[in-house]
Amino acid sequence: MREFRLKVARNGEEDPIGEQSFNVHIAPRWQGMKVEKSDGTVLDYSVPDGIHEAINVKLQGSNISFHRYLPLIQSAALAVGIRGDYFEEPHEYSNVQDASRELRVHKDASGPIHARDGPIASMGHLLESDRQGYRKTVQNDDDNNGRNRPGFYHTATLGPRRIREAFPDHSLPKEIKHYYAKNAVSQGDDSPLAHPKLCVSYQVKRWDGKLGVTPDELNQLERELDQTVLSILADAGLDLAPS
């Protein structure tokens, strides 16, 4: 039985540096399915009850709206002779494993984000006296070669309880991160890699819940990530005006 891998990318004339693309792994699944290991051992493959025949789809992409993946997968399937209606209704077990919002901040302006009294440090110390739940903070101001680079790698990771202390209407666990590329020190100011990124990412391992792929759940994911990014910038005193 064949398994397919597809790569979908925006037209190179519209995206010359290749920032918008995703890869798809398509694999059939059915009750009673067996797999053969490299040593010749044959085992039953675990398929959830309630699924008779289905297609398992795993995808990884960047710089694409969460809501566009499903129609783009259908278009990609049609382009190689696979029926697009196989991908019309994601199963209730379908879920998001990773998602993030990132933006690059000029290094001369990003200091308040990772300051000792800045928004990342403040979130890292939420419920300081509470010894329940998950909280992780990292403050590393030297790069991998020991060269000083303030804000090189600063993170705060908050489980659901602590994320609600920062955003009462949020429920998804998140990591907030300010970081430089490994070779940022050697880059000229005209290189984007000389400047750090602010990243807010969904942390699937930090809770027992599940984030599915329904439109409402994707809206929730988008809203929580965007609100967190914008709030951090605002708390750091950065100008959020479009200009």
85-143 pLDDT tens trace: 889 889 999 999 999 999 999 999 999 999 999 999 999 988 777 777 788 899 999 98
Residue 146 CA: distances (Å) to CA of 108, 149, 152, 175: 21, 9, 11, 25
Residue 183: the pLDDT is 85
Q: Over 80: is that where the pLDDT of 192 sits?
A: yes
Average pLDDT rounded to a whole number, residues 177-203: 93
Average pLDDT rounded to a whole number, residues 10-36: 94
Residue 47 CA: distances (Å) to CA of 31, 51, 92: 6, 7, 14
β partners of residue 208: none
Query: 67-76, 131-140, 206-215, 218-227: which has the minimum mean pLDDT?
Result: 131-140
pLDDT band at 219 (very low <50, low <70, confident <90, very high): very high
Q: Over 80: is that where the pLDDT of 243 sits?
A: no
How do beta strands 42-44 and 34-36 pair? antiparallel
Residue 8: the pLDDT is 95
Residue pair 197/105 in contact (Cβ under 8 Å)? The answer is yes
pLDDT band at 241 (very low <50, low <70, confident <90, very high): confident
What does the domain layout of the chain look like in residue ranges?
Answer: 4-87, 98-235
pLDDT band at 24 (very low <50, low <70, confident <90, very high): very high
Q: Over 90: is that where the pLDDT of 240 sits?
A: no
Average pLDDT rounded to a whole number, residues 194-207: 96
Q: Over 90: is that where the pLDDT of 50 sits?
A: no
CB neighbours of 14 closer than 8 A, spacing ≥ 6? none
Residue of 92, 154, 147 whose CA lies nearest to 122: 154
Residue 48: the pLDDT is 87
Look at the pTM and tell me if it is higher than 0.85: yes
Residue 79: the pLDDT is 93
Q: Does domain 98-235 have CATH number 3.30.310?
A: yes
Residue of 105, 139, 142 whose CA lies nearest to 125: 139
Average pLDDT rounded to a whole number, residues 70-93: 91
Residue 126: the pLDDT is 85
Residue 100: the pLDDT is 97
CA distance 24 to 213: 16
Q: Over 80: is that where the pLDDT of 202 sits?
A: yes
Residue 147: the pLDDT is 87
CA distance 189 to 133: 41
Residue 185: the pLDDT is 84
